[in-house]
Structure 1
């Protein structure tokens, strides 16, 4: 129960960080391009790798601490970083088919299903 509470707190902090950073960037660049989301997603990828590498190589924290940092904070900050991390893990383990399926599947199906949900949502 304590682990879930810590993940929820870290998730709240990640969400607030995402909101703050995306808003600041979007105000700076204007509304013509989703610069806020773009910056959050690429920053999230860098931070995910940085946190993972730091926790993996320098600190001997248990799986719970990794879960709090990566699933809690980073998961709320951006799920894009998790998508990229898992895709890179598949590529690093030479699972080319699964990597291609993961990358193209999530992007193509994500676009198609968002459009389908939008269409159905307007019907209701």
Structure 2
């Protein structure tokens, strides 16, 4: 139960940060391009790389700290960061084909799922 609370508090914090970045980007750059999402995905990807290295290798942090920071905060901020870290991990292990397959499948299937969800939602109205 303690671990779920850490993830929940971290997730709420990350979600609020994502919202604030989106509002900031909308005010500064307008709505013609999804700048907020791009900024969140790039900064989240940088943060997960930095924190994964810092927490795991430099500070040997507890599993609870990793849950709070990476799964909680960054999970609430952006799941793209986790996707990015998974890809890099596969490539660093030399699993080039599985890594490339994961990229293509994730993007293609996710986009297909959005179109399918839109179609189903529209058909139900």
Give the TM-score of the pair, scaled to structure 1. 0.96
Task: Describe how 1:1-124 pairs up with structure 2 within 5 A.
Answer: 1-124=1-124
Could you tell me how far 1:31 is from its partner in structure 2? Answer: 0.8
Could you tell me how far 1:76 is from its partner in structure 2? Answer: 0.6
Aligned Cα RMSD in Å?
A: 0.9
**C-alpha distance after superposition, 1:49-107 (max 9, x if no partner):** 11111102321222221111100000110000000100011111111121011100011
Q: Which runs of 5+ in 1 are unaligned?
A: none
Aligned pairs, how many?
124
Could you tell me how far 1:122 is from its partner in structure 2? Answer: 0.6
**2 CA distance for matches of 1:91 and 1:51?**
19
User: 8 Å contact 2:21–2:40 — kept in the other structure?
Assistant: yes
Q: Which runs of 4+ in 1 moved over 3 A?
A: none
Give the TM-score of the pair, scaled to structure 2. 0.95
